[in-house]
Structure 1
Amino acid sequence: MSGGGLPVPASAGAMQDGFRSALTMGRARIRWVLVLAVVLSLMLLFAVFGSEEDSSTRLGRLHTSASGLLGLNGKVGSRPGPAGVAPGGLSVDEALTQDFDPWVKGSGRTNLTYHSHFNQDDLTLCEDECDAFFPGLWKEIDRSVEFFTKKQQYNKEYLEFSCDDGIWTHARVVIYNNRMYLKYYQQSDFTRSQAALALLHLAVSTSRERLPNVEFCMGMMDWGSRGKFSLDRAPDLEDVWLMPDYGWWSWPEHVGSYQELREKTARVEKEVGWAKKINKLMWRGSMRVGTADRESLVAVARGHDWSDIKALDWGDPSTQVSMEDHCRWKFHGFPEGNTYSGRLRYLQNCRVVIVTHEPRWLQHWTHLYNGDWKSPDQNIVYVPKPQGEGQGVLVHDGDGKASYDRTWERLPETMDALLADDAHAKRVADNSWTFFRERYVTPASATCYWRKLLWGFSKVQKYQVDLSGSETSYESWILKGMKGTHHRRDENESRNLSDAEEQELAKAASYEILRRATMEREP
């Protein structure tokens, strides 16, 4: 007894305790069931509305995730399938004796269009996505395929000639089973060759689709070289393959990582906006390369209120402007260098008006420029060609030889028209931003282009690619250099060129152009 109350049988007390315990456990289970229900609901919402992926594919993946979470395939946290089963539902024995293709065949996304959402930094886009998001980008690839189909057979003899034609070969590359190998490597000036190979390896290693087995050579000089994967070409040089510029990876000597540069330019653009930009034509650059074109620009712009054109002196900090701070001007003059100028893709990461002449050297995306003043899609401004007779301005080539040039003669009237119509100038800048920065010069576009280029090359390659064992995998090369004692990376570190070396480089470029203009096209 207790206190004067009635005695409680021991068995009844035990029953009450058991009931309370069961009730507590039941509530706990209910709470966990509710939590899991909320989690599964959120997963379902994200799966259904979060992407353009096929709904049956998403729901199937959701079922697998939910089954693992709830322990429907075993205990909570156990693997979702039976032990001893390899990917594809094969047993381990079957997987070891049968071929299993791990590569996807397309993205699985339906109804893809130019306007479908894509991540500009997504390096894993499949071919169908690349075709939808970057229409027209493959023009140079198609041109090269047509040339090497109709005019020049790309057989093993031609490969050997291309790789050893006396004009700098910096890498002989093999892509085999979606892996990258080097058969030969020669250090280029600066870090061009390392950056170009890093970009190619990025495109190969991030591919979700099978790539073709190919073998080719790359050249890093300022002009296209016969049969090679090259940085640029003159319009009449057909026997080259244009690859993305090394700067899509990094240009550490002057700019740094491409993706970091994009982040920096975005911050500047958010800070200044269009109205606060400096209302002048800006250019900073070396006079050691592309001397004639740059001298002409400087001379024509001199004395005008809209001009902020200055030669760059690396010893004078007052003449230097960081690449991201170029976004603070509305207008940018763009002369070429020895051949092309590497700054263009950086300027296209700013919301600016690029004022230039029609390109004399082509890169893999320059055909996308729209300089039509009457077009609502104009994304660049071309200075009109000179009219009538005129002397032009005094300029000098790389050898110091004097001549007169009229390329920039009509720049003043071009700038007057832009300054008089700010709405037109803003539209050109906005078009450049959305067309180039947001699409055709994104990291995603570069990896898409590289993979498309490999497939294009494979269509004309007339030899089988195999590994002999003497190749060096890219992963080993970046750590130790080439196998054996030759072409080690540390034997020739990148360096800046002296004035004399720059002049010799320009002479070599001129010689190559002349040689190609007079030589027979057959190997």
Structure 2
Amino acid sequence: MATARLGLGFVCGLLLTLLVLQTLVFWHYSGEGSSPLIRTRPTASLHNAHIDQPWHFDTARDANNIALTASQCDAAFPKLYAEIDRSVKLWHDKKHIITAEDTSISWRRDAAFRLLIHNNTLRILETKDAMNDAYRPRVLAVMNQLHNALLGAQVSGEQLPDIEFAVTVDDMSLIPNGNDTHAIWAFTRRLVDRDQDRCWLIPDFNFWQGGPPGTGSFYEAGRRARRNDGAVAGKIPKVVWRGVAWTNEGLRGPLLEKTIGKAWADVEETVWENRTNFMELDELCKYAFVLHTEGRSWSGRLKYLMNCDSVPIVHNLDWTTHWYHLLVPKGKQQNHVPVKRDWSDLEKKVKHYLIDTPAAQRVAERAVETFRDRYLTAAAEACYWRRLVEGYSEVAVTPEIYDSSLVGEKSLRGISFEEFVLLGTEWPSPAVTGR
């Protein structure tokens, strides 16, 4: 009987202990107090203080995140938006607000279209010989890039302004010369042509997919390139280049001539018809030096070369893109080796860095750090598109959203991106009626 009473007392004591602990937990989480025996949970103020801690971009975590917040975009890519800032300043200085008439593409024969962004969604207003075999891949690539960026804004809670604008996917904008107010979004602009300053630069179609069939997306190509990562001193001690000469004979022809028979160079012209001298993009990364050349205007090759952890060699450029201002030719942040357009110093530069491998390694590491790991990521691309929409809206009129030609009916202008992709033809399309 005594044993039974003892057991009953033990159980009662245990229950009482549990009741006390339960009370303490309730007391703690209801904000009435805390106990040194229990892991504390942050109060609202402490939690907010934690959120307010500086956010830092982490490549492994954030490189493919297209839904960074606007403040995270600023923190991650503070140097990315120079071209946008330049364009905004240009139109402010002109004291001209970009109108719907300024987005006309009547001056283009082909490869152009007009778009409307409304409520973070993309609508196609007009295409002009843009859906032929030559330009369709570029058109769909650009629209998908922008569509992705708008989805990222939606997820991050950022409401972008409504804008109406024109785009060309040609290698050259061919924007009208002289005292003109047309504005267009383009891949590149020529630095010595002041008329082309009116171009708003966008990430080119290669950021979606621009390599040969089987290359995959640009970011997949980057993952394959990493398979050949290694110290510069352990790579093939040559500068490598593959391409066709005809796109810029005056530049590429002399390169082929100056590198014939050179032990430090593996430079060959590719014949696409039979794939003579063809080399996969990631194979280039096996070489210590990767060489960039402009083509008909800019060339998309440079971003692919930046996927390597090799030393990029870049000649003096006539054309720029939305990220070329990040190229640093000298100093502690040097991230490429500059050479002259006539290649007269190419051999000297290559031989110098073949001897000074520590310097070559530093350049390669800065290139990876700046471009592959940060400014040429999917996150950076999405942030740029969203900032471009914001910047453009500062100097453009608020567009008409609804079709004014439809009396008594409220219908959005143009066609949705989703429907356009399925339609697959020029817009307006005679195959679609009732709009």
Q: Give the TM-score range, shorter chain.
A: 0.7 to 0.9
- Number of the residue aligned with 1:178: 120
For the Cα contact (< 8 Å) 2:126–2:427, is it kept in 1? no
Offset of residue 135 of structure 1: 1.5
SS at match of 2:247: coil
For the Cα contact (< 8 Å) 2:233–2:357, is it kept in 1? no
Alignment of structure 1 residues 308-327 onto 2, 5 Å: 308-317=266-275, 319-327=277-285
Alignment of structure 1 residues 498-513 onto 2, 5 Å: none
Offset of residue 438 of structure 1: 0.6
State how far apart, in whole Å, the 2-side matches of 1:381 and 1:116 are.
25
- Number of the residue aligned with 1:473: 416
Q: 1:156 to 1:301 in 2, by over 3 A?
A: same
SS at match of 1:309: strand
Offset of residue 367 of structure 1: 0.8
- Number of the residue aligned with 1:256: 216
Offset of residue 264 of structure 1: 1.0
Offset of residue 366 of structure 1: 0.3
- Number of the residue aligned with 2:226: 266
Q: Could you tell me which amino acid in structure 2 is paired with residue 322 of structure 1?
A: E
Q: Are 1:354 and 2:298 matched, yes or no?
A: no
Q: Could you report, residue by residue, the CA deviation over 1:392-449 in whole angstroms, capped at 9, with x for unpaired residues?
A: xxxxxxxxxxxxxxx1122111112111211111111111011111111111110000
State how far apart, in whole Å, the 2-side matches of 1:440 and 1:293 are.
28
1:293 corresponds to which of 251, 254, 264? 251
Q: Could you report, residue by residue, the CA deviation over 1:63-84 in whole angstroms, capped at 9, with x for unpaired residues?
A: xxxxxxxxxxxxxxxxxxxxxx
For the Cα contact (< 8 Å) 2:124–2:427, is it kept in 1? no
Q: 1:485 to 1:449 in 2, by over 3 A?
A: closer
Offset of residue 260 of structure 1: 1.1
State how far apart, in whole Å, the 1-side matches of 2:248 and 2:236 are.
26
Offset of residue 384 of structure 1: 4.3
Q: 1:55 to 1:324 in 2, by over 3 A?
A: farther
Alignment of structure 1 residues 15-94 onto 2, 5 Å: 56-57=47-48
State how far apart, in whole Å, the 2-side matches of 1:42 and 1:262 are.
44
Offset of residue 276 of structure 1: 2.8
Q: 1:265 to 1:130 in 2, by over 3 A?
A: same
1:202 corresponds to which of 148, 152, 168? 148
- Number of the residue aligned with 2:374: 439
Offset of residue 148 of structure 1: 1.4
Alignment of structure 1 residues 109-508 onto 2, 5 Å: 109-112=52-55, 119-151=62-94, 152-160=96-104, 163-185=105-127, 186-187=130-131, 188-189=134-135, 191-207=137-153, 208=156, 209-226=158-175, 227-235=183-191, 236=193, 237-251=196-210, 253-254=212-213, 255-269=215-229, 272-317=230-275, 319-372=277-330, 375-384=331-340, 407-468=342-403, 469-481=412-424, 486=429
Q: Could you tell me which amino acid in structure 2 is paired with residue 261 of structure 1?
A: A
State how far apart, in whole Å, the 2-side matches of 1:487 and 1:369 are.
47
State how far apart, in whole Å, the 1-side matches of 2:211 and 2:40 are.
44
Q: Could you report, residue by residue, the CA deviation over 1:483-503 in whole angstroms, capped at 9, with x for unpaired residues?
A: 9772889xxxxxxxxxxxxxx
For the Cα contact (< 8 Å) 2:165–2:185, is it kept in 1? yes
State how far apart, in whole Å, the 2-side matches of 1:485 and 1:340 are.
31
Offset of residue 194 of structure 1: 0.6
State how far apart, in whole Å, the 2-side matches of 1:192 and 1:294 are.
25
Q: 1:287 to 1:466 in 2, by over 3 A?
A: same
SS at match of 2:348: helix
Offset of residue 42 of structure 1: 12
Structure with bigger RCO (C-alpha 8 Å, 6+ apart): 2
Q: 1:273 to 1:55 in 2, by over 3 A?
A: farther
Q: Could you tell me which amino acid in structure 1 is paired with residue 151 of structure 2?
A: S
Larger CA deviation: 238-247 vs 186-195: 186-195
Q: Could you report, residue by residue, the CA deviation over 1:96-126 in whole angstroms, capped at 9, with x for unpaired residues?
A: xxxxxxxxxxxx6542467899611111112
Q: Could you tell me which amino acid in structure 2 is paired with residue 242 of structure 1?
A: L
**Where does structure 2 lack aligned partners over 5 or more consecutive residues?**
1-37, 176-182, 404-411
State how far apart, in whole Å, the 1-side matches of 2:350 and 2:431 are.
51
Q: Could you report, residue by residue, the CA deviation over 1:44-65 in whole angstroms, capped at 9, with x for unpaired residues?
A: 9xx99xxxxx952599xxxxxx
State how far apart, in whole Å, the 1-side matches of 2:114 and 2:188 are.
18
Offset of residue 281 of structure 1: 0.5
Over the residues paired in the alignment, what is the CA RMSD in angstroms?
A: 3.7
SS at match of 1:332: strand
**Where does structure 1 lack aligned partners over 5 or more consecutive residues?**
1-39, 49-53, 60-107, 386-406, 490-523
Offset of residue 156 of structure 1: 2.6
State how far apart, in whole Å, the 2-side matches of 1:134 and 1:246 are.
21
Structure showing greater Rg: 1
State how far apart, in whole Å, the 1-side matches of 2:398 and 2:427 are.
26
State how far apart, in whole Å, the 1-side matches of 2:239 and 2:136 are.
30
Q: 1:484 to 1:276 in 2, by over 3 A?
A: closer
